[in-house]
Chains A and B, each alone.
Chain A
Amino acid sequence: MAPTADDTLLRVKGLTKHFTLHGDIYSKLAGEKTQVLKAVDGIDFHIHRGETLGLVGESGCGKSTTARLVTRLIEPTAGEVTLKGENLLGFSRSRMKEARKEVQLVFQDPYSSLNPRKTIMHILSRPMEIHGLVRSWAEKRERVLELLRRVGLGIEHIDRYPHEFSGGQRQRIAIARALSVDPELVIGDEPVSALDVSIQAQILNLFRELQKEFGLTYLFIAHDLSVIRHISDRVAVMYVGKIVETGPAAALFDKPLHPYTKALLAAVPEADPAKPAPRLTLQGEVSTPIDPPPGCRLCGRCPRESAVCAEIAPPLVDVGDGRQVACHNL
Chain B
Amino acid sequence: MTEIQADKLAELQAVRAPAIGGRLARWRMALGNAWHELRKSRTASIGAVMLVLLFGACIATPWITTYDPIKQNYRERLQPPSEKHLLGTDRMGRDIYTRLLYGGRRLVAIALLAVTFGLSVGIPYGVLSGYFGGKVDTVAMRFIDGLLAFPGLLFYLLVVTLAREWKIEGIANDAVLVFALGFAFMPEVARLSRGTVLAEKQKEYVEASRAVGDGSLSIALRQILPNIISPLIVNATVRLGYVILIVAALSFLGLGTPPPTPDWGSDLAAARDYMETAPLIAAFPGLAICYTVLAFNLFGDGLRDILDPRLAER
Interface residues of A (CB under 8 A from B): 68, 71, 73, 97-98, 100-101, 103-105, 107-109, 112-118, 126-127, 130-131, 138, 141-142, 145, 155, 158-159, 174, 177, 181
Contacts and interface: CB of A to CB of B under 8 A. Distances in A.
Contacts of A177: 208, 212
B11 interface: yes
Interface string B1-25: 0000000100110011001000000
B211 A105 contact: yes
B213 A142 contact: no
A50 B301 CA distance: 56
Nearest to B210: A73
B120 interface: no
B146 interface: no
Given A112-B205, A115-B223, A116-B227, A71 B8 contact: no
B212 A141 contact: no
Interface of B: 8, 11-12, 15-16, 19, 203-205, 207-214, 223, 226-227
A181 B212 contact: yes
B213 A107 contact: no
A97 B205 CA distance: 17
B168 to A, nearest CB: 42
A104 B212 CA distance: 7
Contact of A141 (B16, B204, B209): B16
A104 B227 CA distance: 24
21 contacts: A71-B211, A73-B210, A100-B212, A100-B213, A103-B211, A104-B211, A109-B204, A113-B207, A114-B205, A114-B208, A115-B209, A127-B212, A127-B213, A130-B214, A141-B16, A142-B12, A155-B11, A155-B15, A159-B19, A177-B212, A181-B213
Chain B residues touching A, majority SS: helix
B204 A145 contact: no
Contact of A145 (B12, B19, B205, B226): B12
A68 B208 CA distance: 11
Contacts of A142: 8, 12
B205 A131 contact: no
A118 B206 CA distance: 13
Nearest to A146: B8
B207 A105 contact: yes
B213 A108 contact: no
Contacts of A159: 19
B1 to A, nearest CB: 14
B33 to A, nearest CB: 12
Contacts of B11: 145, 155
Nearest to A138: B12
Nearest to B227: A117
A126 B205 contact: no
B15 A141 contact: yes
Which of B203, B205, B207 has the largest count of A CB atoms less than 10 A from its CB?
Answer: B205
Contacts of B209: 115, 126
Contacts of B214: 126-127, 130
A113 B8 contact: no
B211 A158 contact: no
A4 B214 CA distance: 34
Given A107-B204, A112-B203, A158 B212 contact: no
A313 to B, nearest CB: 31
A241 to B, nearest CB: 21
Given A115-B227, A142-B12, A159-B19, A73 B204 contact: no
Contacts of B226: 115, 117-118
Contacts of B227: 115-117
Contacts of B12: 138, 141-142, 145
Contact of B207 (A73, A116, A118, A141): A73
Contacts of A127: 212-214
A103 B213 CA distance: 10
Contact of A73 (B19, B205, B211): B211
Nearest to A105: B211
A105 B208 contact: yes
Contacts of A126: 209, 212, 214
Contacts of A103: 211
Which of B16, B212, B226 has the largest count of A CB atoms less than 10 A from its CB?
Answer: B212
A256 B226 CA distance: 50
Given A115-B205, A142-B12, 4 more contacts: A108-B204, A127-B213, A145-B11, A181-B213
A314 B224 CA distance: 45
A296 B8 CA distance: 59
B213 A101 contact: yes
B211 to A, nearest CB: 4
A155 to B, nearest CB: 6
